[in-house]
Amino acid sequence: MSGATRTSTPNRRVLVIGASRGLGEAIVETYVARGAQVVGTAQDDGPSPLHDFARRNGGAVEIEKIDITVRDQISALRERLDGRAFDLLFVVAGISLAAQDAVGADIDTGDFERMMDTNVLGVMRTVETLQDLVDASGTIAVMSSGQGSVSGNIDGGFEAYRATKSALNQMFRSYAARHAGEQRALLLMAPGWVKTGLGGPNAVLEISDSIPPLVDTIDAQHGAPGLQYLDRHGESVAW
């Protein structure tokens, strides 16, 4: 990916969970271009765009392996990273399995459970387990979606996926409530509808339209305590 708009970042040490391809991989590339040291995760040993990028940018990127739906793998990653510190933890991993037009009772139970397990429980377990690696005044970001907005749901569609992102927002709010008064920035991010494996070919944005401004927004929130639900340009998204 190209199009990084700045050459430096307050987030010098970055941990991106779910970085093998798509938006997560582009976030890794953008932070490396801004001079950061980045750990990115994949579910397997590749090949993947992340593995290709790491090969070309040896010293700046480390790859760790994790499936966020497996508790022991999250704990094992925490142990492997013991003693490390990060300015930014960004949990990007997510899936969309159910057919776009599947509604209500037609949604496949297995698809629904797998999406909730990944997009909600897996993400929050990862945040809870890795949080203490983040500096006291650092940032914990989670990739939500504009589709997680309950009040913004005017047209329906993607009903199951939407529900997982709303549930993620709710659980991250609970996390923020438990950590009220702490210095960390807590960010739920909405990247826009982007052409990736998940976003599909009809999405309106290229990765290069979404990620550089999204990273600008995360960097701009560095040192700003508390919870925000933001789009890539830094505008608040209605809950």
Ligand X SMILES: NC(=O)c1ccc[n+]([C@@H]2O[C@H](COP(=O)([O-])OP(=O)(O)OC[C@H]3O[C@@H](n4cnc5c(N)ncnc54)[C@H](OP(=O)(O)O)[C@@H]3O)[C@@H](O)[C@H]2O)c1
Binding site for ligand X (CB under 6 A): 18-24, 42-43, 66-69, 92-95, 118, 122, 143, 145, 191, 193-194, 196-199, 203
Q: How far is the CB of 43 from ligand X (least distance, A)?
A: 3
Q: How far is the CB of 75 from ligand X (least distance, A)?
A: 14
Residue located via tokens 């920035």: 185
Contact partners, residue 78, CB within 8 Å, separation at least 6:
129, 130, 133
Q: Which amino acid is at 220?
A: A
Q: Is 10 helix (H, G, I), strand (E, B) or coil?
A: coil
Q: How far is the CB of 104 from ligand X (least distance, A)?
A: 21
**Beta strands, E only, 69-153:** 86-91, 134-143
**Beta strands, E only, 92-236:** 134-143, 185-190, 226-231
Q: Which is nearer to ligand X, 196 or 217 (CB)?
A: 196
Q: How far is the CB of 139 from ligand X (least distance, A)?
A: 17
Q: Which is nearer to ligand X, 9 or 126 (CB)?
A: 126
Q: Which is nearer to ligand X, 138 or 199 (CB)?
A: 199
Q: How far is the CB of 137 from ligand X (least distance, A)?
A: 25
Q: Which is nearer to ligand X, 121 or 225 (CB)?
A: 121
Instruction: Give the Cβ contact number of residue 55 at 10 Å.
Output: 12
How far is residue 19 CA from its own chain's centroid? Answer: 9
- Quote the DSSP letter at residue 224: -
Q: Which is nearer to ligand X, 14 or 66 (CB)?
A: 66
How far is the C-alpha of 54 from the C-alpha of 52, rounded, in Å? 6
